Homo-oligomer: A and B are copies of this chain.
Amino acid sequence: MGETIVLSHGSGGKMSHDLVAKGIVPFISNELLDRLDDSAVFELTGRLAFTTDSYVISPIFFPGGDIGRLAVCGTVNDLAVVGAVPKYLSLALIIEEGLSLDDLKKVMRSVREAADEAGVFVVTGDTKVVNHGGADKLFVTTSGIGIIPDGVDISGSNARPGDKVILSGTIGDHGITIMSQREGLKFDVPVVSDCAPLNRMVAAMLKASAHIHTMRDPTRGGLATTLNEIARQSNVGIRLVEDTIPVCEAVRAACELLGFDPLYVANEGKLVAIAPAEEADHVLAVMKKDRYGKDAAIIGEVISEHPGKVTMTTRLGSIRIVDMLTGELLPRIC
């Protein structure tokens, strides 16, 4: 059996240093991180974006990713959807005593791969160890800093009637993947988490259109909850067309079987963009060229009726209200 993490690895003393030096830093090493001062120091100038998220997903490894990839992508995406170019991340680990060092290293390799893909650096971090039963294997908290280019003004408050709603791909992949892992469900076509960094696609979108009003990544609470947030923040209505919303076959089948609505299932590599009608087709075309946007589609529009509400034209032609998620669909999905 391999080495496991024990409480002494969190003491701040010799064993902490050894763990950081052997199990963490080598995997994510870069000039800024390697200095190991209390704070990372770098030059940045301009309008900055700053975000944070804790990840408590169970299980920590899943098809399409793990908690390390998830944490990096989640923070990169939170920066990207306000129009920022992600630059620097922090990484704070809360480890349950008993986690295998091999699992930790595997997660750190994923952190590095995702950071490399997104073009960001982990420049500062922290490691705590709690007693067995005091946490569940591994929690990861990432924060991120990015720079917003001049002229970019993206906010949940900027959606305007007449704008088109563009979705970057199929919904529900992440949530159904985690659910099926947890419950031991098997499908004919395996489902895989969509966990991915979207910042390169966003950069291309912003280059293509200076007038994208709103972007957001529909994670916990799914597409429905995200669109409700935007409708409220912008005080507009949003009308979706059910038939246009991409859902992959396996997710659709799983949702039917389990009684879930994919509109409420979490995504980790998708974004919704709201742009003026006259620029929507161009933005869509740019998204479709990106590996993470090939299934992108216009799924609805912003309207002045029913401000603060999301409605949907169903396959049967009726119109229904799409509310925020109430209650809990899947705990610890991210």
Q: Which residues of A contact B (CB under 8 A)?
A: 6-8, 10-17, 35-56, 58, 77-79, 81-82, 84, 88, 90-94, 123-126, 128-131, 133-136, 139, 141, 143-146, 148, 155-157, 216-217, 219-222, 225, 229, 233, 264, 266, 323-329, 331-332, 334
Contact = CB atoms under 8 A, between A and B. Distances in A.
A42 B35 CA distance: 27
12 contacts: A6-B328, A8-B328, A12-B266, A13-B221, A15-B326, A17-B324, A38-B79, A39-B49, A39-B84, A43-B46, A90-B143, A94-B94
Most buried by B among A40, A43, A50: A50
A216 B135 contact: no
A97 to B, nearest CB: 9
A71 to B, nearest CB: 11
Contact of A78 (B39, B54, B84, B328): B39
Give 10 nearest A-B pairs by CB, closest first: A12-B220, A13-B325, A12-B221, A52-B90, A143-B143, A39-B49, A39-B51, A141-B141, A8-B328, A38-B78
A225 B8 CA distance: 14
Given A15-B326, A39-B144, A56-B135, 14 more contacts: A7-B328, A11-B220, A13-B329, A42-B47, A42-B48, A44-B44, A45-B46, A50-B90, A50-B145, A54-B128, A55-B128, A135-B135, A141-B141, A143-B143
